[in-house]
Chains A and B, each alone.
Chain A
Amino acid sequence: AQSVTQLGSHVSVSEGALVLLRCNYSSSVPPYLFWYVQYPNQGLQLLLKYTSAATLVKGINGFEAEFKKSETSFHLTKPSAHMSDAAEYFCAVSDRPNTPLVFGKGTRLSVIA
């Protein structure tokens, strides 16, 4: 069965520092992978998704993620954190047609001035 593990429930970085949020997945077939962001008191919105076209995926707000099959990982990065990046981030996986996404437990990102 597909599953997602996000390492670290809370990550804190300084403004301007590198952001790295980790996601590992378990899937028996090539997956589709997603990163969603949730700002306080809002619903989730898509940051980026991997659908097998290119292993390095660029998303909104300067975020990107790299699909590494050998490591079963899809880590999210941003070169320079901004205060507005403070939010909760969710990794999700889907590997079968017509089945819903499976979400990780989320990582809360804090950005320190």
Chain B
Amino acid sequence: NAGVTQTPKFRILKIGQSMTLQCTQDMNHNYMYWYRQDPGMGLKLIYYSVGAGITDKGEVPNGYNVSRSTTEDFPLRLELAAPSQTSVYFCASSYSGKQETQYFGPGTRLLVL
């Protein structure tokens, strides 16, 4: 049982490039989330999904896109990378929303130059 896995671990992008951050969970969780973490700012929710085919915006969705075609996978797409997207990105999953524990992946560190 691998839990939540994320790839890549680290990536450097040039301004204007695009990339997809991968996230997979093997716990059959309905809910999945993408957060970004910036120093001293805590975690900010980018997008979340309550099940396959259903996604919703979080607090900071601009510049990102997501899709959820399967229960297991929840990729995050950056279309036109900007320096403001330099951050550490975490994917998480849970059985449902309100009181369930969220399980986090190890994170992807992204540097946009």
Contacts and interface: CB of A to CB of B under 8 A. Distances in A.
B43 A43 contact: no
A34 B31 CA distance: 17
A98 B105 CA distance: 21
Nearest to B41: A105
Interface in A18-77: 32, 34, 36, 41-46, 49, 51
Interface stretch (B13-21, B61-69, B70-78, B94-102): B94-102
A43 B33 CA distance: 13
Nearest to B97: A98
A43 to B, nearest CB: 3
Interface in B47-65: 48, 50, 58
A99 B97 contact: yes
Contact of B40 (A9, A90, A97): A9
B106 interface: yes
A104 B20 CA distance: 27
Contact of B45 (A43, A45, A96, A100): A100
Given A44-B90, A100-B33, A105 B97 contact: no
Contacts of B33: 100
Given A43-B105, A45-B104, A94 B99 contact: yes
A105 B105 CA distance: 19
A41 B106 CA distance: 8
Interface of B: 4, 31, 33, 35, 40-43, 45, 48, 50, 58, 90, 92, 96-99, 101-102, 104-107
